Amino acid sequence: MAFFACSKGGLFDRMSMKEVRAMLEARNICLEVDAEEEPLFLLNDVNFCVPRGHFMAIVGPSGCGKTTLLKTIAGIKDVSSGSFFWEGRDLSEEGDFEPHEIGYVPQFSIAYDELTVDESIEASARLRVRADEDELNDIIDNVLAETGLTDIADRQVKLLSGGQRRRLALAMELVSSPRILLCDEVTSGLDPRSEREIVQLLHNLSMKDGRIVISVTHSLSQMELYDSVMVLVQGNLAYHGSPRALSHYFSVENAEEVYPHLSLREPEDWSASWLKHRLEYYRKLEKEHLSKFEKKGELPPPPAVSDGEEEEISGPGFFTQLMVLLRRRFSILMRDRTQLMLQVAMVLIFPILVALFSSKGQEQLINLTDMQGADIAMEVQHQQEQAEVRAKVGSAVSGIIMFEVILLGLMGANNASREVAGERLIMEKEKFAGVGIGAYVASKAVYLSVLVLVQSLWMFCFVEWFWPYRGDAINHLIFLLLANAAMTSVCLGISANCRTPDQSSLLSIYLVGFQLPLSGAVLALPEFIETFTQPFISAYWAWSGSIEGGLAPDVIKAVKSIVQTSFRDMQMCRVVLLLHVVFGLVLTWIGVKRMRWE
C-alpha cells in the first residue's frame, strides 16, 4: 500500500484510486512571511501522508509551526507553495474540504457559557446537518454517548471542567461525522488523567469509520496511544514515524528528552537527515498501521464513496440556520442576568429621565394677532412675555426630543457594540463549519430589531404619557425607531470590524458621545463643519425630522426662534436614517465575511 512513503517518492502516482481516496497528503508545503531582514519560513518543505483510520500527533517546541500546519490543512491559512491532496483531489485547485468532511477543534472554547451541553450540541447539529427531527435526536444522543457526556447533558457550559469542555468541543464537531478531525491543543492544561482520557477518546474516534484524527500537542506523555508522531522544528519536518521508534531515531532514553535534543542541530539538518532515513521508518509505520486493525479482526473500513462521482451533501438552508441562531441568541440573553438586567434598567430608567423634563415646554403659545386693539404698553408687555414663553417652549421641546434621541442612541450602542466582536472566534468556527454569512448577519439584524422596537416603543409611550407630543406623534415615533435602528446598525458594523469587544465598545461610546455636540442642537456649528459632519450624525436627522415634519407650526416657530442650526425636510431625514441602517448592515456583512481567527 505504501501510504506513508508517497511524498516525494513518486509512489502516489502508482497507487490505485481506492488507495488514493483513503488518505490525506501534503506535498512540499511552505508558508513564508515577510520579516525585517529576510523572508521567514513558518513551514519549510513539509511532506507527509496520512491514511484512513489513523491517529497522528504533531509535536515540537513552542513556535515550531504545529498550529500553523494544522490551520493550513484546514484551509484557514493559505500556503505560499505546495499542495494538500484529499482523497486524490488537489484542495488548492479542485475545491477545499466540504464542511461535512472536516471537523476542527481550536484551542479556544466554541460553546456559549449560558447554554447547556445538550443545547450546545443540538445547536451545532441543527446548524450543520440536514436531517429530520428523529435523525437529529439520534445524532445528538449518539454523540453524547460517544464522548461520555450523557450524564451531564443538562449542565451549563460555564460549570464544566477543562476536560469536559474538551469533550464538548469534540462532540460539537462529531455531529456531522467528519472524515478528518483536526484538534489543536485539546489536552493543554489538563491533569494527567484527563489528558489520557481525551487522547484515548481521540484514538477511539480514529478507529471509527476510517476517520483520520490529527492532534497538535506539546505533551509527549501519551505517545503510545498515537499511531504516528510528527516532530517539527522551526517549520521543518524532523520526524514522522511510529512513537515506538521516536527515542531510537533521536538517540535519547525517553520521549521527554526529544525537545532539548532538537537544539543540538540546525532545523535544516534535521530535515535533511529525515529525508535520508524516512523510507525505513515508513515501512515500520505502515506495518503497525495495518496491525492496528488486524488485532480487531478487521482492516480499515473502505472509503465512504465509490470510484464514481461523490454524492453531493448540503447543509441546512438559510431559514433553518437563521431560526437556530435566533433561538440560541434569545436563550443566551434570557440567561445572561447581567446583560438582561442592563437592558431592563435602560428601558425603564431612560424614559424616566426624559419624563423629568415633561413639565417644561407645555405652556401655551399665544397668537400675538389676538392682542391687536390693546394699548401699546400692554401689547409690548405681552410681546415680551410671549417671547420668553416661546424661548422656553422652544428650548424645552428641542432639548427633550434630542434627549430622547441621544438616549436611544446609547441603547443602540449597548445593543450592538459587543454583538459580533464578543463572539468573533465562535462565529469564525461556525462559518468554517458551514454556517452561512447571510444567515448569521440576518440573525443579528432580526434580534437587534426586536430590541430596537421594544426600546423605542416604550420610550415613546412612557414619555407621551407625561409629555404629550405637540404635533404628529406617529411621525415622532418613526424617527425614534429610525434613530435607534441607525445607531444600532452602525455599531453592529463597528463590532463586526473590530478585533476585540472592548475596542468596539469604546468606539461605539465615542460615536454616541459626539452625537450631541456635532448635531448642532445645542450650539450651531460653523457652516463648513456642519456641511461635513451632518451626514454622519444620526441624532441630527432624527431630531430635525421630528421637529420639521412632526411638530405643530407654532411650536416649530418657537424651536427655530432659539436654534440656529438649519433643519431638513422630513422625507430627506427618513431617507438619510435608512441609509445609516443600510450602511451599518453592509459594514457588518463586510466584517463578518472577513476571516479573522487571531
Summarised one tens digit per residue, pLDDT across range 325-334 is 999 999 999 9
Is the residue at 123 inside a domain?
no
> Which set of grid coordinates corresponds to residue 398?
428641542
Same domain? For 501 and 397 the reply is yes
pLDDT higher than threshold 50 for residue 226: yes
Cell 478531525 sits at which residue? 181
Give the count of domains, the chain.
Answer: 2
Same domain? For 254 and 398 the reply is no
pLDDT higher than threshold 80 for residue 291: no
Phi, psi of 6 (to 5 degrees): -70, -30
pLDDT at 36: 63
Same domain? For 431 and 561 the reply is yes
Same domain? For 539 and 398 the reply is yes
The residues pairing with 90 across neighbouring beta strands, listed in sequence order, are: 85
Is the residue at 447 inside a domain?
yes
Summarised one tens digit per residue, pLDDT across range 209-223 is 789 999 999 888 889
Average predicted confidence (pLDDT) for the chain: 86
Same domain? For 285 and 401 the reply is no
Containing structural domain, residue 396: 318-323+391-593
Environment class of residue 358 by beta-carbon count within 10 Å: exposed (0-12), middle (13-18) or buried (19+)? middle
pTM metric for this prediction: 0.89
Is the residue at 308 inside a domain?
no
Please name the helix (run of DSSP H) or strand (run of DSSP E) that holds residue 74, with its range, or none.
helix 66-74
Same domain? For 402 and 510 the reply is yes
Summarised one tens digit per residue, pLDDT across range 424-444 is 999 999 999 999 999 999 999
Summarised one tens digit per residue, pLDDT across range 65-101 is 999 999 999 999 999 999 999 988 899 888 889 898 9
**DSSP state letter for 524:** P
Q: Kindly give the residue spans of alpha helices, DSSP state H, lying in 147-185.
A: 162-174
pLDDT higher than threshold 90 for residue 11: no
Is the residue at 464 inside a domain?
yes
Same domain? For 396 and 287 the reply is no
Same domain? For 407 and 552 the reply is yes
Banded pLDDT at 307 (limits 50, 70, 90): very low
- Residue 336 CA to residue 340 CA, distance in Å, equals 6
Compute the Cα dihedral for 267, 269, 273, 275 and give only its sign: positive
Is the residue at 41 inside a domain?
yes
Same domain? For 408 and 528 the reply is yes
Phi, psi of 91 (to 5 degrees): -65, -25
In the chain, the percentage of residues whose pLDDT exceeds 70 is 87
Same domain? For 512 and 403 the reply is yes
pLDDT higher than threshold 90 for residue 47: yes
The mean pLDDT value for 248-253 works out to 91
Compute the Cα dihedral for 319, 320, 321, 323 and give only its sign: positive
- How would DSSP label each residue in 1-44? ---TT-TTTS-GGGS-HHHHTTEEEEEEEEEEE--SSS-EEEEE
Same domain? For 280 and 409 the reply is no
In the chain, the percentage of residues whose pLDDT exceeds 90 is 59
Kindly report the CATH number assigned to the domain that includes residue 30: 3.40.50.300
Same domain? For 404 and 525 the reply is yes
Is the residue at 36 inside a domain?
yes
Is the residue at 368 inside a domain?
no
Is the residue at 248 inside a domain?
yes
Summarised one tens digit per residue, pLDDT across range 261-285 is 999 999 999 999 999 999 888 888 8
pLDDT higher than threshold 50 for residue 129: yes
From the list 346, 342, 345, 320, the residue with the least C-alpha distance to 333 is 342
Task: Tell me which range, 11-25, 372-386, 502-516, 562-576, is most confidently predicted by mean pLDDT.
Answer: 502-516
